[in-house]
Structure 1
Amino acid sequence: MKHCAGLDVSVKETAIWLFEGLAKAGLPVVCIERRHVNAFLKAQPNKTDRNDARGIAQMMRVNLFRPLHVKTLTSQKRRALLTARKLLKEKAITIENDIRGLLRNFGLKVGKVGAVKFEERIRELTEGMPDLAEIVEPLLDARRKLRQNFAALHRKLLAIVRDDEVCRRLMSIPGVGPVVSLAYTATIDIPARFRNSKAVGPILGLTPALHESGESRRVGGISLCGDGMMRTLLYESAQTLLTRVTKWSWLKAWAMDVAKRRGQRKAIVALARRLAVIMHRIWSDGTQFRWTRTEIMPVAG
């Protein structure tokens, strides 16, 4: 059986679309890891399309490739929703910061103000300067529309989570909210593709990178491989659990103990990794988070 694989870097954005189309056409298709391909092709002195094709064919021939999991359509749509929501929020914050910088040139400081009262504060500062108010008004209008569209996508996200039984169970974990639970299900996609729950940590780049050569062995920081958005959300959830969640649990007690021994930053990373493991276990077992130590099942962090 032949494999259609090794999509070029120039078409990586359409790789999933091509994969789905080839699969629907009944062709045997495998999507392979691009980083492994790049590492394999670096051995060639000259980079040409012909040499790349030959190199990829050789990889397939000798079985030196790692198949890449292609997510289901549902997970892809959820990921698109999360990405669009994040983009709108970032653009709105960028405009707010630009307005702050623009007004600072005229000695006007916005100060600490929430998103709700931001526009009111700007109008208050520019009340006696009509020319400046006329310049700022289009920026405020653009920010307002971005915030409105962000709110619409956020409501859509909440509606999806409300109807998803897995997301509701994941939200039983302290520090895990609707955005984190939906992002986790969209990232993991199919929990059975992991041999065990401990395997989730390395996939999300939350385990230390090991550098070993001869007698030298150095353990560095976390590898930062995998999904950056999911890793950031898990870090934020861990930070929330460690610093803001007031209800005590065995998980928070464990994280506090790590913080005392190794510092808060390392404790947050360790807690983020353990959250990923616990979420996978809860998803696989169909259970909910157990707050007391006597109720918990053994979970390896």
Structure 2
Amino acid sequence: MIKTKDTASSKLFIGIDVHKRSWKIHTATDLFNGSSITTPPNAFALQKYIDKHYKGYQIHCCYESGCCGFSHHRLFESFGWNSLVVNPADVHRPAKAQFQKTDKIDARLLCKELKDGRLKGIHVPDVEREQLRCLFRRRNDLAKEQRKIKTQVKMQLLYLGIEIPKALDRPHWSHKFRNWLKDLSFDYKTMDYCFQTRLEAYDFVDKQVQSVSVKLRAYCRKHYKKDYYLLRSVPGVGPIVACGIICELGDLRRFKSFKQLASYVGLIPSVHQSGGHLRTAGLTPRANQLMRSYWVEATWQALRFDPVMQVYYRSHQGKDLKRILVKVARKLLSRIHAIIKTETPYQIGVIK
């Protein structure tokens, strides 16, 4: 009699609903459905449980991207597990799951989708690129705080009935305007101190923005020199936008097509079709919101300096202004994608 031996290893699928205080996990093998348990929020605690109850299984696990980042994913992979970090919007939810949402149900849905092979993981940057992205986002947070303080200062002047000289009233605060603000005096010392603290807060944040910007540009020029200067060759792409592309989008060569890159940035329409009626509803809400806003600013600058973009913009005049701007932004994005893939600096030319 011929003896047979099973060489296929059993598979274990784990859906993890991660939180700060605890994890809710649901397990299932390739043959049967498992159970739901609660574990400490620790990858090693989960590994200990799996080694005890499912030793010898081939592990496949997933969790939704969010506040916990990618550190757990990297630990799971170091255990030899197959790990995915998924976009929460990619997890199929039945109608009743929209009205009954618990951590246990979320973990079960993740496990079921993973077992059925319907989940696709998002791009996970390496540690160096992830921490560089944190620095870029820190600069963006500081810039938002700076704009907030500037608005508060101007509203304070409006409240007190103090008119700003027209020559100094600009979005960018010049040294003359800042000196004019510091020379202001009020009837009572209480208001002097109040206004002084606002200006001190602005000076502190302004120095932080400049310091972080210098560090960011210096790091990108040193470690991503080729891509940085390729991006800077494009009209409209300044130092901060170039750093943002490197930090947020990573290596543009990883995108297999321009459509994939445009989808990631969010420069594609949101469409709805029913029968023969096709309706568009602006840009898709699924996007890298930070980079999309930077891209719009870069597009306006490109229209100022690039004759090719100006000709393309004028060829669509008469249409909705926002739609034209999106078209120009997509064209700018496609050119940046091309120069990175071909590693050829951008050449400004005129369409004949």
TM-score bracket, shorter-length normalisation? 0.7 to 0.9
Read off the aligned partner of 1:12 and give its amino acid letter: G
**Equivalent of 1:214 in 262, 275, 289:** 275
* Deviation at residue 186 of structure 1 after TM alignment: 2.1
**Equivalent of 1:151 in 210, 222, 226:** 210
Name the CA shift for 1:6/1:293 in 2 (closer, same or farther; >3 Å).
farther
Read off the aligned partner of 2:142 and give its amino acid letter: L
The within-5 A match list for 1:52-71 is 52-71=106-125
Distance 1:5 1:167 in 2: 39
Distance 1:131 1:15 in 2: 46
Does residue 251 (structure 1) correspond to residue 309 (structure 2)? The answer is yes
**Equivalent of 2:159 in 99, 102, 105:** 105
Name the CA shift for 1:179/1:104 in 2 (closer, same or farther; >3 Å).
same
Distance 1:141 1:270 in 2: 43
* Deviation at residue 105 of structure 1 after TM alignment: 2.3
Question: Quick one: percent identity of the two aligned structures?
Answer: 19
Partner of 1:299: none
**Equivalent of 1:132 in 168, 191, 195:** 191
Partner of 1:298: none
**Equivalent of 2:93 in 17, 29, 40:** 40
Distance 2:226 2:338 in 1: 15
Q: Secondary structure at the match of 1:221?
A: strand
**Equivalent of 1:287 in 344, 348, 351:** 344
Does residue 96 (structure 1) correspond to residue 150 (structure 2)? The answer is yes
Backbone CA RMSD of aligned residues: 2.5
Read off the aligned partner of 1:154 and give its amino acid letter: S
Name the CA shift for 1:98/1:55 in 2 (closer, same or farther; >3 Å).
same
* Deviation at residue 293 of structure 1 after TM alignment: 5.8
C-alpha contact 2:13 2:111 (8 A) present in aligned 1: no
The within-5 A match list for 1:66-81 is 66-81=120-135
Q: Secondary structure at the match of 1:218?
A: strand
* Deviation at residue 4 of structure 1 after TM alignment: 5.0
Does residue 181 (structure 1) correspond to residue 181 (structure 2)? The answer is no
C-alpha contact 1:204 1:230 (8 A) present in aligned 2: yes
The answer for unaligned runs of 5 or more in structure 2 is 1-10, 21-64
Q: Secondary structure at the match of 2:267?
A: coil
Bigger shift: 204-213 or 157-166? 157-166
Name the CA shift for 1:221/1:203 in 2 (closer, same or farther; >3 Å).
same
Name the CA shift for 1:56/1:263 in 2 (closer, same or farther; >3 Å).
closer
Q: Secondary structure at the match of 2:233?
A: coil
Read off the aligned partner of 1:121 and give its amino acid letter: W
Distance 2:285 2:276 in 1: 25
Which structure has more RCO (C-alpha within 8 Å, separation ≥ 6)?
1
Q: Secondary structure at the match of 1:126?
A: coil
C-alpha contact 2:129 2:247 (8 A) present in aligned 1: yes
**Equivalent of 2:69 in 2, 6, 15:** 15
Partner of 2:38: none
Partner of 1:27: 81
* Deviation at residue 240 of structure 1 after TM alignment: 1.3
Read off the aligned partner of 2:308 and give its amino acid letter: W
For residues 55-99 of structure 1, give each alpha carbon's deviation from its aligned partner in whole angstroms, at most 9, with x where no partner exists: 211111111212111122232122211211111121122122212
Distance 1:16 1:41 in 2: 27
* Deviation at residue 154 of structure 1 after TM alignment: 0.8
Distance 1:78 1:165 in 2: 17
Partner of 2:24: none
Partner of 1:274: 331
C-alpha contact 1:204 1:226 (8 A) present in aligned 2: yes
Q: Secondary structure at the match of 1:210?
A: strand
Q: Secondary structure at the match of 1:169?
A: helix
* Deviation at residue 294 of structure 1 after TM alignment: 8.0
Higher helix proportion (structure 1 or 2): 1
Read off the aligned partner of 1:155 and give its amino acid letter: V
* Deviation at residue 34 of structure 1 after TM alignment: 1.0
Name the CA shift for 1:180/1:275 in 2 (closer, same or farther; >3 Å).
same
C-alpha contact 1:85 1:153 (8 A) present in aligned 2: yes
* Deviation at residue 167 of structure 1 after TM alignment: 1.3
Q: TM-score, normalised on structure 2? A: 0.75
Distance 1:268 1:195 in 2: 25
Aligned length: 290
Distance 1:225 1:237 in 2: 20
* Deviation at residue 9 of structure 1 after TM alignment: 7.1
For residues 27-62 of structure 1, give each alpha carbon's deviation from its aligned partner in whole angstroms, at most 9, with x where no partner exists: 22111121122x425543532222222221111111
